[in-house]
Amino acid sequence: MNLTQMLLKEMEQEIATTRKMLALVPNDKFDWKPHEKSMSMKSLAIHIAEIPGWPEHILEHEVLDFAAQPYTPAAVSNNKELLNLLETSYNKGRTLMEKTDDDTLVNKHWKMCMGETLLADLTKYEAIRHAFAQTTHHRAQLGVYLRLNNIPIPGSYGPSADDQSF
């Protein structure tokens, strides 16, 4: 199994867990925040739904410069649109991943910067793995948001207090 195949397998496993979590985000809690400095549940959920599409940008470009390309989140107004965004992002990311090779992943770099400030300089493999880690991190945040709203949390890497059926 090569690196691309391993990443695709991991992506498939992660998307299943992400679908379960995002399906629980209630429309009437989109504006809810656990703290004034926190993202709203909607903003966090949109961010999570967009991450599976990151391999598309990583594989097609060498640099992401937030100063030149400010981030604008997708427009989502309900849970159905959120889940559609997730599927669209996943399909874009997966399609590009299926077309790549190990040489590209290991020997080509991708940089993230803010104007002249370099934020990251990674191989394309490292950048994609970083995106997967971001998914896990933000999904855990969303789990706290849901828990604080008394919404049962599904298991992800094992059972949860609410879901023993893992």
| Residue numbering of the annotated binding site for a divalent metal cation | 47, 138
End-to-end CA distance of the chain: 27
Q: How far apart are the C-alpha atoms of 65 and 113, rounded to whole Å? A: 5
Q: Residue 155: left if φ>0, alpha if ψ -120 to 50, beta else—which one?
A: beta
Helices (H), 113-159: 124-148
Contact 14, 136 (CB under 8 A): yes
Contacts of 118 (CB under 8 A, 6+ apart): 111, 112
Residues at the annotated binding site? 47, 138
State how far the alpha carbon of 76 is from the alpha carbons of 41, 52, 59, 66, 90, in Å. 12, 16, 26, 22, 16
